[in-house]
A and B are shown apart, each in its own frame.
Chain A
Amino acid sequence: MAAAIFSLFIFVVALLIGTSSASSSGLQILQAERQIELTSHIVRVYLTLKIENTEDAPATEVLLAFPPTQFDHLALVKAAVTVGKKRKKSYVPLEAKPTERPDAPNGTKYHSVSLLKPLAKGETTNLEILYILTQSLEPFPEEIAQSDPQLVYYHDSAIILSPYHIAHQATMIKTPSNNVESFTQVDPAHRSGSELRYGPYEGHGPYSYSPIIVHFENNHPFAVVEELEREIEISHWGSVQVTESYKLAHAGAKHKGAFSRVEYQSRPGGSGVSSFKHLLAVLPPRVHSVYYRDEIGNISTSRLRTNSKKTELLIEPRYPLFGGWKATFLIGYGVPLKDFLFESAPGARYLNYTFGCSIADTVVDKLTIKVVLPEGSKDPSVEVPFAVKQSLEKKYSYLDVIGRTVVVLEKRNVVPEHHVPFQVHYKFNPLFMLAEPLMLASTFFLLFAASVVYLHIDLSIRKKC
């Protein structure tokens, strides 16, 4: 721990030394406000930047800098520009994508945000940025007993890391409760209740950095889906079958020592506060044949609530999950085909389904979505609003002859904000639907024909008398 802090310190010193040479761009940030939400195990950072171009050349993009440790845990970066005055303020989303810079000091990583229109000299613009970090809360102590609360560290910088000069800045950190063990003092910094305020700081040069550690209590269930495989199987006979297999873990402080059922049952509030017993899965409306099981059979503890807008499935793993405990399970359901499959052109169809994981408020480390297209479909193509790894597979299901095309999408580090629709386009001839019934019918026909022939044939050498 100490070593880590020390190295961070060195890093900062190096950054401060390197600052003067690095400000190559002519942009400067007039006002920066950052709000860090640490209420759950997903860290959400809202950044409001007021940017001015000080050079002649118009600027087309704005760089956001991240220290390398943070960059690895970055699940999502969203940027928007504010348009209009106070009353008619609206947000126009901008494109943000990771970029590399040759002159990045100490391995700093960037996302570049392309502006709607180039920023001429002297003009200012307001950017709203949201980025989400996962696995950035480090439990300390690493192991806790059943009755202990869960304490975590959060590492960041009091000063916003940026390749630009920042004139004015302030950082607000929101913790889930008033129980903050300690936080690094970088004057002016103070705490009121569950809010920590760093700043305002004036006039920091590019790549300024000042590490802080916040040590606080966070009993939010650290539900992490280590692996999720969703299989979406399209049947043109009228339904889409979805199977989701989860590998769930509690990623918080590890459970240490005994687990006492007496304590857990008799003091629900005081014992195992960071553990969780149930999860909420949000399924599409009009689902049918929902099941919830694992490799050794049905799990009887679940509750299904349906209404016209959505279906909620409250699932309880077989046992409460304490830090470090794991569970695997499977959720499956069918939804009507007409809700998700549409015809774009004659013979061409597309599936419109939600990306991400059904369980609310979780992080998925590795998500694999497999869209199983009906047998005989051609030319699959995928539209996803963010970068995913794509590949194709073949799958043989009930009575298949040529196999079904499976579109495989893989993405790491998925957060609830990734729950957006994606589309899979393909071409399909409805005649293929008849292939299997015809095959079965002809098999039975041949069987009966063969038995008729057999009954009427006489293979004996001698005639019966």
Chain B
Amino acid sequence: MAAQETSQSATFRHAFGNVLSFTVLLLIGVMAFSIRLFSVIKYESVIHEFDPYFNYRVTQFLTKSGVYDFWNWFDDRTWYPLGRVIGGTVYPGLTLTAGTLWRILNSINIPLSVETVCVFTAPVFSAFASWATYLLTKEIKGAGAGLTAAALLAMVPSYISRSVAGSYDNEAVAIFALIFTFYLYIKTLNTGSLFYATLNAIAYFYMVCSWGGYTFIINLIPMHVLLCIVTGRYSPRLYIAYAPLVVLGTLLAALVPVVGFNAVMTSEHFASFLVFIIIHVVALVYYIKGILTPQMFKVAVTLVVSVGMVLCVAVLAVLIALVASSPTKGWSGRSLSLLDPTYASKYIPIIASVSEHQPPTWPSYFMDINVLAFLVPAGIIACFLPLSDASSFAVLYIVTSVYFSGVMVRLMLVLAPAACIMSGIALSEAFDVLTRSIKFHLVGTTQNPQDNARDATKVNQNDVKSEKSEDTVKERPSRKSKKKDKENIEKPSLVSRVEKRLLVLPLETSVMAVFLLVLLGAFYVVHCVWAAAEAYSAPSIVLTSRSHDGLHVFDDFREAYAWLSHNTEVDDKVSKSKRSDSFALKTPTDVSGISFIASTHYPLILFEVLNLAVLGLVQRNKLIGLLAAAILVQVASWWDYGYQTTAMANRTVIVDNNTWNNTHIATVGTAMSSPEKAAWDIFNSLDVKYVLVVFGGLVGYPSDDINKFLWMVRIGGGVFPHIKEPDYLRDGQYRIDSQATPTMLNSLMYKLSYFRFVETDGRGYDRVRNTEIGKKHFKLTHFEEVFTTHHWMVRIYKLKSPKNRIRGKTKRSKSKSGTSTSSKRSTRKKNPWQ
């Protein structure tokens, strides 16, 4: 009777617990979403930064033209005159996700704009990510740890920095996919269910669609499998968890155009295949062991080992020879710089110039994961008490991600979920122990007079409870493996043992510890909210500054883009008439045809926006990202501004943030570093009409082109040796004042930045470099200022047309260059419609 009652109250408590966890999860989701809305509240609902603008533009195309056109999309607005095959070079996960969301919303008549959907995709997926964290941690250490970890992840600053509303970037959905894939892997490992294994492969496929970081998964899981095998934890569940993932996952990954055959051909994936072979060998060994007698087995082992060794050595030799024959040893530059942190700075300036590819500093750990950094070790210890398959995975995850985050700032993002899981486990275990000892003391003091045998019953009750929990576990579907059950039996006994030992904790100490832990949590929350509100919410296309007379808004970038999109009318005409041609030709989706169009049309505008991220000057590491010289066809600019120019101004650029063609970027860098005439020749040969520079000297905006200029010189010099870095430095110092070298003072970048600058204050005082400029009064002969924004942050110049110059000279230069450009120009002139 009493047992029934207790079981009834237990079911009630069970149900109540479920409802409570559900509510808590819901609230965590709401918090994850709302903490990311600071950017919308403080600024506006707008896409942030650089890469998100590209993703936004791709999404717009997708929603307008449909998914099939998207796969075949050849973008002629970037990388003029080469163009770029977007469908085959982007990770489509984010775009397809947002596009599908948009489609669903519109089909039920909720007419949100594509922009709105894009802006809020990241916050929505962070809520999903925190739920996925709950599931993963629950598999590892139970629901309490799961809820704590989910709450921590919902507001971890590192993840917030990549997923505030408007930050429409791959990482926003990829972190969710990463955690969810891990969850399904652990779930499969714990249950041995093929159903979950299949889901796991699909989740992995989504991750591959979303982010290049999927290689982390496909290396981490094999590592874990290997670890399990080595430590003698091989089980059929492990086989079920791993083998289908490799087979299905690799097949699915190869479906993503950007990955394609890389899924089987690059070194990043080799580990998984190697482990795939090993696990089969191990499985075979276990099988044979089962059917042979021990003596026979011994004989077989010696036989197989000797033959196998020979074979393995042969195969390894072939593999090593194959890999060694490729110049990068089969590894891509970015991955190599992961293994050897100094690789990029040594060999690839364009990777090195991106700030987020730099190693982080210690403060950035504190900024991005805050108190979690201190809780992680405790979490690791908790994972060893006891060590299960799942918790060993968690340990492996944290260890590898700590290493990777130490190599590249950007990968701090991968560390954040691991740190949250570990801290969640640590906090939850600590609370568990502390509250239990408090409860014991309280119960002990209040009920002391009643019965001395109370302790005994308590212990009994504990036993009953543990039995009960065992029962409930057993009641669950029989998919649960025997091993799991065994663990469960082990665990309660372990727990009760631990309990008995820990109950000794004195009341005061426990209360104090709980109080301190709560304080620590509160500190974390305060820090996260501050980081979300102050540090990570600025959209970077709008800048604000607070001064004594109120808030100043610097909206110069959009001013320039809007001006370009509305007032570069000649090109509009040309591109319009040509665009109709391209439509006619586009129907047979013939790539060669399209690239032909791309190369012949758009007498484009080159915006020279040279934006090189100067590491030390940009405070927010995530910002430092872009290496692309954005040159609009006819708009030439350094690559940082390429994505924004195509998306906001709808003009063709020469280079953009997708830095796939180093030579092209170097050409723009060279032009910027050259004197006016040489630069004009380069730009003219690229059909550039406008050149765009970012200049912060008037208002003190530090990440302007002058500060990035050395990178332009370096990248340009890497391909065109006549540009030499020392020419721009005086005694190894980069300066723009009267001590600057003549090469520097005559470079196009200097001239375009400081043209007529001296007239603003009479002496030309640069507020970024805090110095007076070196050359104050000069004229431009081949360029003409056509627009400068209100705070001078963006300056747009037009290339003067060659006919303005002396006739004889023009003719000579024409005949000399004899390029397609000049012939195109002359034919265009004949056209009566222009």
Contact = CB atoms under 8 A, between A and B. Distances in A.
B559 interface: yes
B760 A262 contact: yes
Interface string A246-263: 000000000001111110
A400 B785 contact: no
Dominant SS at the A interface?
A: loop
- Kindly state the interface size class of chain B when it binds its partner: 20 to 34
Given A258-B785, A259-B785, A319-B789, A296 B110 contact: no
A396 interface: yes
A401 B759 CA distance: 62
A298 B46 contact: yes
Nearest to A260: B785
Nearest to B551: A300
Contact of B559 (A293, A319, A324): A319
Contacts of B807: none
B110 A260 contact: no
Contacts of A319: 559, 562-563, 787, 789-790
Interface stretch (A51-59, A104-112, A325-333): A325-333
B535 interface: no
A399 B108 contact: yes
Nearest to A293: B44
Contacts of A326: 566-567
Interface in A367-418: 396-401
A259 B558 contact: no
A318 B559 contact: yes
Interface in A251-309: 257-262, 265-266, 293-294, 296-301
Interface in A320-363: 324-328
Contacts of A327: 562, 566
A461 to B, nearest CB: 13
B567 A300 contact: no
Given A396-B111, A398-B110, A318 B46 contact: no
A293 B784 CA distance: 30
B3 interface: no
B340 interface: no
A326 B784 CA distance: 20
A396 B109 contact: yes
B750 interface: no
A464 interface: yes
Dominant SS at the B interface?
A: mixed
Contacts of A300: 542, 553, 555
Nearest to B644: A296
Contacts of A397: 109, 111
A5 to B, nearest CB: 26
Contacts of B541: 297
Nearest to A264: B788
Contacts of A265: 760
Contacts of A257: 784
Interface in B444-501: 475, 477
Contacts of A324: 567, 569
A300 B785 CA distance: 25
A318 B784 contact: no
A352 B807 CA distance: 66
Interface string B780-821: 000011111110100000000000000000000000000000
A298 B569 contact: no
A328 to B, nearest CB: 7
A394 B830 CA distance: 47
B724 interface: no
A325 B110 CA distance: 36
B756 interface: yes
A266 B757 CA distance: 12
Given A318-B555, A324-B569, A261 B792 contact: yes
A119 B519 CA distance: 96
B184 to A, nearest CB: 22
B129 to A, nearest CB: 24
Nearest to A320: B790
B44 A262 contact: no
A294 B475 CA distance: 60
B678 interface: no
B46 A294 contact: no
A397 B113 CA distance: 12
Contacts of B786: 258-259
Contacts of B555: 299-301, 318
Contacts of B375: none
Nearest to A401: B109
A268 to B, nearest CB: 13
Among A300, A324, A325, the one with the most B-chain Cβ atoms within 10 Å of its Cβ is: A300
Contact of A296 (B562, B784, B792): B562
20 contacts: A257-B784, A258-B785, A259-B785, A260-B756, A262-B759, A262-B760, A293-B44, A294-B562, A297-B44, A297-B541, A299-B555, A300-B555, A301-B555, A319-B559, A319-B787, A326-B567, A396-B111, A397-B111, A399-B108, A401-B109
Nearest 8 A/B pairs, CB to CB: A261-B788, A297-B46, A326-B566, A298-B44, A318-B559, A318-B562, A300-B553, A262-B759
Interface of A: 257-262, 265-266, 293-294, 296-301, 318-319, 324-328, 396-401, 464
